[in-house]
Amino acid sequence: MTEQMKPSGIDWIKDIPISWNTNKVKYLATDSNTLFLDGDWIESDVIEDSGIRYLTTGNVGAGYYKDQGSGYISQKTFDELHCLKVVPGDLMISRLNEPIGRACIVPDGENFYVVAVDNVILRPNKEYNKKFIMYVMNTDGYAEHGNIIARGATMSRVSRSQLGQFWIAYPDMNEQNLIADFLDNQCGKIDSIISDLEKQIETLQKYKKSLILETVTKGLNKNVPMKQSGIDWIGDIPAHWDIKRIKDVSKMQTGTTPPNNEGVNIDGDGVNWFTPGDFIDGSIELCNSEKYVNNETIKRETIKIYPKHSILFVGIASIGKLGYFENSCYSNQQITAIKPNNVESSKYISYALLASMDYTKSNALYTTVPIINNAYLGIIKIPFPEAKEQKEIISYLDKKCSQIDVIVKDKQEQLEKIKQHKKSLIYEYVTGKKRVKEATNGN
């Protein structure tokens, strides 16, 4: 018999089984020594290569621990700063960056840890299962509430007080245990599928990258004589090819942002106005931009629009992203347009620049952020065959990359569907829309 439902009074949770209760997070631990135990402010100059493992907000995934970073502090620093001792099995919550309020269980592997100041530890009362709470804290509705109330000029965060005002719904401890075990089992199976799909996508992307590099440095005819290029990332090239600098085969122009963003719109009024967010990693494909700049502003500000078949290159912050665009367009100041002297070379140059990207980025200038300025961009050297061979290479890579992209897109769609299924599964069970069979026996 299905248990009767009742309103929870919580927008994102909606109805819950009549036997369930609701509570604010701040009441999950009534002892002040177990509620929102603060992480510690650890200065970068005390971070070491070994010692006590230091966990940051980057280690808190949405329902899983992310094994990244390798910071440690010494026992001496731990004692001097009177750091919080965090142990395996603790519930760690991040107050910083979306999704706000996400949580994970601190893993085994160390006797104890120290955590960053924007992480908090919650040690709930014995009538609450930490794993169950973790699953609740990683539902979309819970995260959306955190993202809405978060504040911060450069990075969004919530206070401990705000975090304490979040609501959850929960059954008795027996059912919490059953739900946590059930979700561990089901999510483990789903995560295995997710991991496999992610590896397949990564393998395809690496193959595409190696294919482009091989083709723009060695050509399509593997039987021609070769010569040394003198450039590490290029290696040997066909003996009849040249090496050219970008400034030898093109002109460059950096974009701007109109004063007070005047004329910038999302209505498709005017010409495409590209920003770094419009670019796709590992691809030269550049679709329409999210934003446009209208013709009145272009005329008033005497903006010199990029010509057709320009190559757009991101030189600040998200450096190394690039795209080939067939139509006239413009961009903000983070982007440089490479305008080839011969437009028929545009796509070839795009592929060659993409092949050079690892080398190019590793040699970028650094201030507070990495920068590839026009002077550096102009002296990047690429292999340069004659026009006929460029055309053949473009045709070959367009076809092969398109085939790979279709497969990648299909796998990415599969990945998104399985991730959404996981989210739905968690939501349904932590809000009582679906019940673990053992919990409803006798109802």
Q: Which of 88, 86, 174 is nearest to 129 (CA)?
A: 174
Rounded distance, CA 84 to CA 75, Å? 12
The predicted structure's pLDDT at residue 362: 85
Burial class (CB in 10 A: 0-12, 13-18, 19+), 65: middle
The structure tokens listed for 249 are: 């085969």
Highest CATH level, class, for 5-170: alpha beta
Supply the pTM of this predicted model: 0.84
Residue 351 near residue 397 (C-beta atoms within 8 A): yes
Burial class (CB in 10 A: 0-12, 13-18, 19+), 203: exposed
- Sequence ranges of the domains in the chain: 5-170, 172-240+387-443, 242-384
Angle made by CA atoms 316, 317, 321, in degrees to the nearest 5: 75
Whether CATH 1.10.287.1120 fits 172-240+387-443: yes
The predicted structure's pLDDT at residue 87: 96
The predicted structure's pLDDT at residue 396: 98
Q: Which of 209, 160, 181, 196 is nearest to 38 (CA)?
A: 160
Rounded distance, CA 42 to CA 391, Å? 56
The predicted structure's pLDDT at residue 367: 62
The predicted structure's pLDDT at residue 153: 54
Tens of pLDDT, residue by residue, the chain (443 residues): 578 999 999 999 999 999 999 999 999 998 776 778 999 999 989 999 999 999 999 999 989 999 888 799 999 999 999 999 999 999 999 988 788 889 999 999 999 999 999 999 999 999 999 999 999 999 988 878 777 776 665 567 788 888 888 999 999 999 999 999 999 999 999 999 999 999 999 999 999 999 999 999 999 999 999 999 999 999 999 999 999 999 999 999 999 999 999 999 999 999 999 999 999 988 999 989 999 999 999 999 999 999 999 999 999 878 889 999 999 999 999 999 999 999 999 999 999 999 999 998 888 776 666 788 899 999 999 999 999 999 999 999 999 999 999 999 999 999 999 999 999 999 999 999 999 987 766 55
Domains 5-170 and 172-240+387-443 share a fold: no
R_g of the chain, CA atoms, integer Å:
27
Could you tell me which residues come within 8 angstroms of residue 88 by beta carbon, excluding any fewer than 6 positions away?
106, 107, 108, 109, 110
Q: What is residue 440's three-state secondary structure?
A: helix
The predicted structure's pLDDT at residue 148: 74
Q: Which CATH superfamily is domain 242-384 in?
A: DNA methylase specificity domains (3.90.220.20)
- DSSP for 33-84, written as a single string: TTSSEE-B---GGG-BSSSEEEE-GGGB-SSSB------EE-HHHHHHTT--
DSSP run (H or E) holding 122: strand 119-122
Rounded distance, CA 339 to CA 252, Å? 6
